[in-house]
Amino acid sequence: MVDVLVGVLVIAGSMLILLAGIGVLRFADLYARMHAATKAPTVGIALVCIAGAIAIDGGTDKILLAAAIIFVTAPSAAHFVGRAAYRAEGIDIHLDGPDDLRELMEDDEDAASND
Amino acid sequence: MTRVVRVVLLTAIWILLWSDPSIANLLSGLVLAVVVVAWFDRRRQGNVIIRPIAAVKFAGYFLYQLIASTLVVARTVITPRDRINTAIVAVPLSGCSDALVTLIADAISLTPGTLTLEVRREPLTLYVHALDVRDINGLRHVVRTLEVLAVTAFGDDDALEGLVVDDTTVWRGR
Residues B79 and B140 in one domain: yes
* Residue bearing the bigger pLDDT, A42 or B41: A42
Residue A73 has what pLDDT?
84
Span B108-123, pLDDT tens digits: 888 878 888 888 887 7
Mean pLDDT (chain A) is 82
Report residue B173's pLDDT band, with 50, 70 and 90 as the boundaries.
very low
> Do B148 and B89 share a domain, yes or no?
yes
Asked whether residue B15 falls in the same domain as residue B84, the answer is no
Q: Is B23 exposed, middle or buried (0-12, 13-18, 19+ CB in 10 A)?
A: exposed
Does one domain contain both B126 and B71?
Answer: yes
Do B88 and B147 share a domain, yes or no?
A: yes
User: Are B87 and A104 a contacting pair at CB < 8 A?
Assistant: no
**Residue B129, strand partner residues:** B88, B115
Neighbours of B111 (CB within 10 A): 27
Residue B109 near residue A79 (C-beta atoms within 8 A): yes
Please state the domain count of chain B. 2
Work out whether strand B125-130 and strand B114-120 pair parallel, antiparallel, or are unpaired.
antiparallel
Give the confidence band of B171 by pLDDT, cuts at 50, 70, 90.
very low
| DSSP secondary structure letter of residue B127 | E
Beta-carbon count within 10 A of B153 CB: 20
B22 lies in the same domain as B108: no
Confirm whether B47 is domain-assigned: no
| pLDDT for residue B104 | 87
Q: For residue B132, is it within any domain?
A: yes
Q: Which structural domain range is residue A24 located in? A: 2-114
The residue of chain A nearest to residue B129, with distances taken between CA atoms, is A31
B107 and B143 fall within a common domain: yes
CB proximity B110 to A under 8 Å: yes
B166 against A59, higher pLDDT: A59
| Alpha-carbon gap, residue B69 to A35, rounded angstroms | 11
- Rounded CA-CA distance B49/B67 in Å is 27
Q: Is A58 part of the contact surface with chain B (CB cutoff 8 Å)?
A: yes
- Peptide bond connecting B123 to the previous residue in cis, omega within 30 degrees of 0: yes
Question: How does the average pLDDT of chain B come out, rounded?
Answer: 80
B70: chain A residues, CB-CB within 8 Å = 16, 39-40, 43
Give the residue-averaged pLDDT of B82-98: 78
Q: Is A94 helix (H, G, I), strand (E, B) or coil?
A: coil
Q: Which residue of A29, A42, A43, A81 to mutate against B (max B Cβ within 10 Å)?
A: A43
**CA A45 to CA A68: how far, in whole Å?**
10
| B33: containing domain | 2-41
B34 plus B105 within the same structural domain: no
Q: Is residue B11 one of the residues assigned to a domain?
A: yes
Please report which confidence band the pLDDT of residue A24 belongs to, taking 50, 70 and 90 as the band edges: confident
CA geometry: angle B98, B73, B87, nearest 5 deg? 60
**Whether residue B93 is found in the same domain as residue B57:** yes
Kindly tell me the burial class for residue B70, based on how many C-beta atoms sit within 10 Å of its own C-beta (0-12, 13-18, 19 or more).
Answer: buried
Q: Note whether residue B46 is domain-resident.
A: no
Check pLDDT > 70 for residue B166.
Answer: no
Task: Tell me if B58 is assigned to some domain.
Answer: yes
CB atoms A34 and B115 under 8 Å = yes
* B92 plus B151 within the same structural domain: yes
Show Cβ contacts of residue B157 under 8 Å, excluding neighbours closer than 6 positions: none
Q: Is residue B88 scored above 90 in pLDDT? A: no
Decide if B70 contacts A43 (C-beta within 8 A): yes
d(CA B130, CA A67): 25
Contact B68, A39 (CB under 8 A): no
Residues B145 and B72 both lie in one domain: yes
Q: Between chains, do B110 and A75 touch, taking CB under 8 Å as contact?
A: yes
In this predicted structure, the answer to whether residue A107 has a pLDDT above a threshold of 50 is: yes
Please report which confidence band the pLDDT of residue B143 belongs to, taking 50, 70 and 90 as the band edges: confident
**Mind telling me how many Å the CA of B106 is from chain A's nearest CA?**
6
Burial B76-89 (b: 16+ CB within 10 A, else e): bbeeeeeebbbbbb
- What is the number of domains present in chain A? 1
**Residue B172: pLDDT band with limits 50, 70, 90:** very low
